[in-house]
Structure 1
């Protein structure tokens, strides 16, 4: 009996130590020349908190053993690094990121040729019909767009159909969806997402592919223009709004 109690006590101490939050430190460098990288974005995918490197490439972030840190920097390949006991034991580590070749696509700008006559020019100027639907009782609406005239019916049918895509994403991923709110509350992550358009950080935290994120917004009746042009912070807020409305309407089933 005594041995069992001692064993349980040992297991309890080990588990408690394993889950203890530490401050991990490191330096981020360019793998090609060992130059220090400033303003590298780092997100703890498990704790959903973020930070950036300073002028010396140094960073600090809270983490537990087995947490995954996600490193992203413009022009470099993103990295995932697992926090280990050795990292905690030996202190600072060097994280080296690989530079990518950036190919810029040619952009063709076609200006609108105006004639000076109001009646004619009014027909030449393009009109972007990205409007939003609102469901009574909810704080926000749904962006429809000219290609989705039945947005309200589409959203409601999506929510009330258990086999629908939204149910499979929202209903079966409560842990990932809870991270959405954490991301919105962390200023470092919000600042990061506001300047990004690649969806990489969102995909890493939510464990979704780019096509899944686009499909979520499509099912929530956001326009194609919004899905393609919004920054990652706007996409995060859109997913969050859609999820909150999903929960409200799902409770009424």
Structure 2
């Protein structure tokens, strides 16, 4: 009896390893489903659907239907203006029975009072210009490099800004990039998918980016801060601009650290 128990216990790790291997080798097939309004059950057109695992995107047609490459256990991310974003894990039953419906829930917005504070203009140009806020962010292009840098306003010296923009990724971002190499490799895949790019161009909340890159919002802000992007850019840029900024910084980081 004791010998049988030992044999069974020895097989448990092998069974677990076999299961993990099966999950990793799931076949990628075309997955079709329909997205509907949870309240009305009407189909939703132009919903953005992103497979976070395969880094592929698509949108629903006028009947709410979409088709996207997917494997069992892949996670699909749904985004639609005015509706709550949703993540759905693909199962065997979804492939087996078909006719899968994904219901999205409308967001309830509470309108808040908005106070407009106009600038106090005097009519004298010299005085009014001094009172208006000025964006001190600058873009610098370095000969031999394919990208430019927004150096922000950390230093009054333009030379210091340029040097800081180049050296910061090598000196300060090693841990951030080094800890997330798999997520950083997704950058190129994301940029090559037009549907994902269109989605990111319409988003300003960083929610989709955090899901795609598996980074926290604070990590994204740290990367951009250490790449010397200005606070105004970090705050106002859409998700596609943020993605391009991270990608540019990451590419320069790899070049500067190639021989280290």
Q: Structure 2 length normalisation: TM-score?
A: 0.81
Q: CA deviation at 1:154?
A: 6.5
Q: Which residue of 1 aligns with 2:244?
A: 237
Q: Map 1:15-164; keep pairs closer than 5 Å.
A: 18-149=25-156, 150-151=160-161, 152-153=163-164, 156-160=167-171, 164=172
Work out whether residues 148 and 221 of structure 1, in 8 Å CA contact, stay in contact via their aligned partners in 2: no
SS of alignment partner, residue 95 of structure 1: strand
How many pairs align?
237
1: distance between equivalents of 2:45 and 2:164?
Answer: 48
Q: Which residue of 1 aligns with 2:176?
A: 169
Deviation track 1:65-99 (CA, whole Å, cap 9, x = no partner) reads 22111111222221111112111111230111222
Q: Which residue of 2 aligns with 1:249?
A: 256
Work out whether residues 18 and 64 of structure 1, in 8 Å CA contact, stay in contact via their aligned partners in 2: no
2: distance between equivalents of 1:212 and 1:17?
Answer: 28
Question: How large is the Cα RMSD of the aligned pairs?
Answer: 2.5
SS of alignment partner, residue 54 of structure 1: coil
Work out whether residues 18 and 65 of structure 1, in 8 Å CA contact, stay in contact via their aligned partners in 2: no
2: distance between equivalents of 1:47 and 1:142?
Answer: 31
When structure 1 is superposed on structure 2, of 240-249 and 173-182 the one drifting more is 173-182
When structure 1 is superposed on structure 2, of 122-131 and 104-113 the one drifting more is 104-113
Q: Structure 1 length normalisation: TM-score?
A: 0.84
Deviation track 1:213-239 (CA, whole Å, cap 9, x = no partner) reads 111111111000000000111011001
Q: CA deviation at 1:201?
A: 1.1
Unaligned runs of 5+ in 1: 1-10
SS of alignment partner, residue 251 of structure 1: coil
SS of alignment partner, residue 101 of structure 2: strand
